[in-house]
Amino acid sequence: MGWWSTNIMGGDTPLDFQSKVYEELGKSQFPNGFDGDEYEPTPEDFNSNPNLYDKLFTEEFRRNWGKDSYNIAKQVFAYMLMKAGGKMTDEVRAETTQACDDDEWANDDLERAAHIRNLKSHIQNYDHSPVTNLEQDYGVFGAIQQGESPQLDLEVMKVNMEKELQELKNEELMYYETANIQINAPRSLIQLSTGTKINLLEKYLNLPISSFPLVKEMS
pTM of model > 0.75: no
105 & 42 share domain: yes
Q: Is residue 94 part of a domain?
A: yes
Q: What single DSSP character describes residue 3?
A: B
30 & 88 share domain: yes
Range with the poorest average pLDDT among 58-72, 152-166, 177-191:
152-166
36 & 103 share domain: yes
Q: How many CB atoms lie within 10 A of CB 182?
A: 7
Give CA separation, 9 vs 59, 80, 155, 175, 183, in Å: 23, 10, 19, 27, 31
pLDDT band at 22 (very low <50, low <70, confident <90, very high): very high
Q: Is residue 209 part of a domain?
A: no
Domain boundary among 78, 111, 137: 137
131 & 157 share domain: no
132 & 154 share domain: no
Range with the poorest average pLDDT among 74-83, 191-200, 209-218:
191-200
Nearest to 107 by CA among 71, 136, 78: 71
185 & 131 share domain: no
Beta carbons of 214 and 169 less than 8 angstroms apart: yes
Which residues, in sequence order, are CB contacts of 12 under 8 Å at separation 6+?
Answer: 1, 2, 3, 197
Q: Is residue 4 part of a domain?
A: no
122 & 46 share domain: yes
- Cα angle value 83/31/172 (rounded, 5°): 100
Q: Is residue 92 part of a domain?
A: yes
Q: Is residue 63 part of a domain?
A: yes
Average pLDDT along the chain: 84
Q: Is residue 144 part of a domain?
A: no
Q: Is residue 211 part of a domain?
A: no
Number of domains in the chain: 2
99 & 198 share domain: no
> Could you give the CA distance from residue 112 to residue 6 in angstroms, rounded to a whole number?
5
131 & 159 share domain: no
Rounded to an integer, the average pLDDT of 38-63 is 92
* Ordered alpha helix ranges (H), the chain: 12-25, 43-47, 52-56, 59-65, 67-84, 90-101, 105-108, 110-125, 139-146, 151-169, 185-204
Q: Is residue 156 part of a domain?
A: yes
Dihedral angle of Cα 13, 38, 8, 174, to the nearest 10 degrees: 20
Query: For 56-108, how does the pLDDT look when each residue is reduced to its tens digit (9 = 90+)?
Result: 999 888 888 888 899 999 999 999 999 999 999 999 999 999 999 999 998 88
